[in-house]
Amino acid sequence: MKVGFVGVGLMGHGMAANLLKAGHDLTVIAHRNRQPVDDLVARGAREAKSLAELAGAAHFIILCVTNADVVQSVVDELFDHLTGDHVIIDTSTSDPVVTEKLAGRLAAKGVAFADSPLTGGAQQAAEGVLGAIVGGSEQTFARIKPVLEAFCTRIGHFGPAGSGHRAKLINNYLVMSMVASIADTFNVARRAGIDWASLFDVMKCGSNYSEALRRIVEPALEGDLDGYKFTLRNAQKDVGYYLSFADDAGLTSDLAREVMAVYERSVAEGHGDLFLSRLIDPETAGKDADA
């Protein structure tokens, strides 16, 4: 299949590499980091010089970008070059309100759209074992599933456009809540004189043990505070989108606002570009390291 890819960064590179492995005809576009683009071209991808050129080379266009504003901007630039043969697959974690508007606008032109945010990180993307949370029509889901199978092992259809992003935001809210709790727990342990390695070892035997706990604490015990490679700024963005949709549905909790405050504080203090696992550091968490 002819696939275009916008956003071959930390996640997108692994996804795109697996599309090539699966035999798809892949076209990519320049990214602010040239290394993944050059690597994919060396593996057999073509590089488009513009979104118009990319649209001309592909039937399926995958977006893996940072937020809803960027999704909107990319679709705006693509719009005049799209036909009824195109399908847009948005794998970004985005705002469901924006998703629904884009889907409606594209449908009026005969262009199919699916929101297909992902579970898993850069390692899972490289290994081709991501999960896809898909929103869109049954027909669109059937069309895109063979593309998603190149980098996903679990693919679920959650309903019409916007459903995938709502489900993903619920998923990410739970993860960001866990991360905030794990960081707070290990900061408390530090202050209480509890040995991190011993605590982590016994946690492996109980209900506390999770992928989030492992990704944060296991590397930290070796001095690596960057084990969970997802930025605090992106965490703030995702919890913010979650709060917006929960507010609209009358579902917001006090806990959700407390979780949001953790990430807002970290970003306000200049830590937005650090990874989530840095919250285990008292300075990043906004706590007194000498307390």
Q: What is the pLDDT of residues 223-232, one digit of tens each?
A: 999 999 999 9
One domain, residues 17 and 129? yes
CATH of the domain at 269: 1.10.1040.10
Owning domain of residue 107: 2-160
Q: What is the pLDDT of residues 69-79, one digit of tens each?
A: 999 999 999 99
One domain, residues 170 and 154? no
- Of the residues 101, 109, 168, 229, only one is catalytic, namely 168
Q: What is the pLDDT of residues 105-143, one digit of tens each?
A: 999 999 999 999 999 999 999 999 999 999 999 999 999
Structure token digits, residue 275 = 């990874």
Evaluated on CA atoms 235, 236, 237, 242, the torsion sign reads positive
Structure token digits, residue 259 = 């979780």
Q: The whole model's pTM is what?
A: 0.92
User: Residue 112: which region, alpha, beta or left (left: phi > 0; alpha: psi -120 to 50)?
Assistant: beta
One domain, residues 152 and 174? no
Nearest Cα residue to 66 out of 291, 235, 253, 221: 235
Q: Catalytic: 168?
A: yes
One domain, residues 27 and 151? yes
Residue 283 confidence (pLDDT): 75
CATH of the domain at 107: 3.40.50.720
Q: Number of structural domains, the chain? A: 2
In a domain, 250, yes or no: yes
Is residue 62 within 8 Å of 147, Cβ to Cβ? Answer: yes
One domain, residues 121 and 204? no
In a domain, 266, yes or no: yes
In a domain, 290, yes or no: no
One domain, residues 112 and 199? no
For 102-117, b where at least 16 C-beta lie within 10 A, e where not — what string? bbeebeeeebbbbbbb
One domain, residues 10 and 133? yes
Q: Which of 107, 136, 160 is the last residue of a domain?
A: 160
